[in-house]
Amino acid sequence: MQQSTNHRRSNRRRLAAVTGSILAAALSLPGGAAAASPDSAPVTAASLGLMQGFPPPADKRVTRDNFMEYPYSRWAFQHIRELQPTRDIFRGEGSVAPLAPRPVDLDTLKFDVPGDRQLDLKTWLAESVTDAFLVLHRGELVYERYFNGMARTSQHQMFSATKSFVGMLVLCLIEEGAIDPGKTLQDYIPELKGSGFGDATVQQVLNMTTSLAFNEDYTDPEADVWKYGYVFGIATPPAGYTGASSIYEFLPALGPAERAHGEAFLYATPNTDVLGWLSSRVTGKSVSRQLQERVWQQLGVERDGYMWLNELGEEMAGGGLNITAADAARFGQMILHKGQYNGRQILPEAVARRILQAGNPEPFNRYYNDIWYEQIGYAYHDQWWTFNNPHKAVSAIGVHGQFIYIDPVAEMVIVKQSSHPEAESMANEVDGPLIWQAIAEHLMGQP
């Protein structure tokens, strides 16, 4: 396993959610222009002329074949539903819960990051190829910035941050007694009997400690994750491909690995798709419908969300959610406020408290012993990450720089939406958490 203090590269693709790094490091621009490096001011979709004109020139078009390539992704991550089938998550008819502004000057802060570097927030936002960045402190909006054509109303692809929403739904069903976390998946979904999931418990799937034969290495053209990508239109299958076209065919076909369930954390996106299947089997409702009824129509959000589908109308529970940054902040604030928001108890308090727990670090780096697992990450539970900082902040995380970061000590929520060329970048995954802890400490010192 290759390790680096400058940038981590590993075969497991720790944060790779569904889309992972498929061609994400491609840095050639339309028309042959040189790409901006991640540590310089990033190009924008508008400055490149992407999808401008009727029709756009051929070399400026974002399509299903190039939308995961940088810089085409700078446009695509705000326009997924123009490229893939989707399903609405309706906000309902209720009024919008306002985000009370209380601006705080964070632009002048200086942050120490690895490599003996010091940088300000503006520089870091550019280096990490940010599209939206919001900070809530004690429920008030203290900082809000948009880039690359984004606005308060823009919906953005969340990738693996979706997993935390699905985990929340399953925790609610556990709290309500509809799911027993100690039962096996095959108890609820007989179709999984004999698969790598069959005899795993619900809790082991939630914690991603399943023994699953699944290769999420995007550098391996034969890896299972490519076949997963074929199911959801992320990649085009080769000629003659005869594998699964449905997620309900794909998941039962995954076999067990040569280790015991519960032994150690091992990141694999299909765990979340199984949880989506489980919650839908128990409730009789899609993941998007559950989110709509349980959260979106209660939260006072500004816009509908939507879920990425495949051609069969099946939802990508492992990474298909698209929402605005402001609505992601409302969701994070609701978790921080023990399930309360918009004058309502939206989630059971026990569920929100459980999400905010740091979790058990013991299985977290039993297989993974690189710098991130030893110094940045701390634990993973219930489809949520915990950072190894003094506040043990928890976060939903998605590739290419998507975060809903919740600091229960500082009473702070940070939302970051990005279109970074790299699925896993030093700027987002290492510098980001260090900067957010510094922001938390600064805000705690404010009157």
Q: Which residues are catalytic?
A: 160
Residue 119 φ/ψ, nearest 5 degrees: -145, 160
- Length of the chain equals 447
What separation, in Å, do the N-terminal and C-terminal C-alpha atoms of the chain show? Answer: 47
Q: What residues have CB less than 8 Å from 363, skipping those under 6 apart?
A: 207, 209, 262, 263, 264, 265
Structure-token pair, residue 262: 């519960």
Residues 6+ apart with CB under 8 A from 238: none
Residue with tokens 């089997």: 281
Looking at the DSSP assignment, which residues form a beta bridge with residue 430? none
Locus of tokens 């699905």: 166
Residues 6 or more apart whose Cβ sits within 8 Å of residue 260: 211
**What one-letter code names the amino acid at 346?**
I
- Type of residue at 403: F
Q: How far, rounded to the nearest angstrom, does the alpha carbon of residue 195 sit from its chain's CA centroid?
A: 26
**Per-residue tokens: 12:** 């497991």
Cα–Cα dist 374/119, whole Å: 24
Identity of residue 413: V
Omega prior to 55 cis, within 30 of 0 = yes
Helices 325-336 and 349-356 pack at an angle, to 10 degrees, of 100
d(CA 422, CA 280): 33
Q: Give the three-state DSSP class for 209.
A: coil
